[in-house]
């Protein structure tokens, strides 16, 4: 008998322990937590820390794919300079990441 069929077998009548019937459900919840929920929460925390730590002069990438340099920081928005003399106002939630790791990639 393999392990999967052992877990999927349900006890019949009064013979089984209720804890063993709950074990597959508990295992599925644990797997979802460690492989899906926890990494997503970690990524959200890193993104929030990045957006709170933005400083003037940082090179960033927007959600729309625009590369720019932070020129001014306001409450919930930043002014990006995308070319000489060209500035746009972007919400902080629209900033994805620091541009320094993109510049290190070959061919860029």
Average pLDDT value for residue range 61-69:
91
CATH class of 55-103: mainly beta
Classify residue 96 as exposed, middle or buried by CB count within 10 Å of its CB (0-12, 13-18, 19+). middle
Which residues of the chain does CATH 2.30.30 include?
A: 55-103
How far apart are the C-alpha atoms of 35 and 41, rounded to whole Å?
A: 11
Reported pTM: 0.60
How far apart are the C-alpha atoms of 24 and 70, rounded to whole Å?
A: 50
Give 18 or 49, the one with higher predicted confidence.
49
Q: What is the pLDDT of residues 22-49, one digit of tens each?
A: 888 999 999 999 999 999 999 999 988 9
How far apart are the C-alpha atoms of 69 and 80, rounded to whole Å?
A: 5
How far apart are the C-alpha atoms of 105 and 108, rounded to whole Å?
A: 6
How far apart are the C-alpha atoms of 58 and 49, rounded to whole Å?
A: 14
């Amino acid at each position: 008998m393999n392990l999967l069929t052992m877990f999927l077998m349900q006890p019949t009548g009064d013979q089984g322990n209720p804890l063993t019937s709950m074990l597959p459900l508990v295992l599925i919840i644990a797997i979802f937590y460690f492989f899906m929920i926890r990494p997503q929460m970690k990524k959200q925390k890193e993104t929030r820390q990045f957006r709170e730590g933005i400083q003037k002069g940082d090179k960033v990438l927007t959600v729309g794919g625009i590369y720019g340099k932070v020129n001014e920081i306001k409450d919930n928005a930043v002014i990006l300079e995308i070319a000489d003399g060209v500035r746009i106002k972007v919400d902080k939630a629209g900033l994805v990441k620091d541009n320094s790791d993109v510049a290190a990639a070959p061919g860029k």
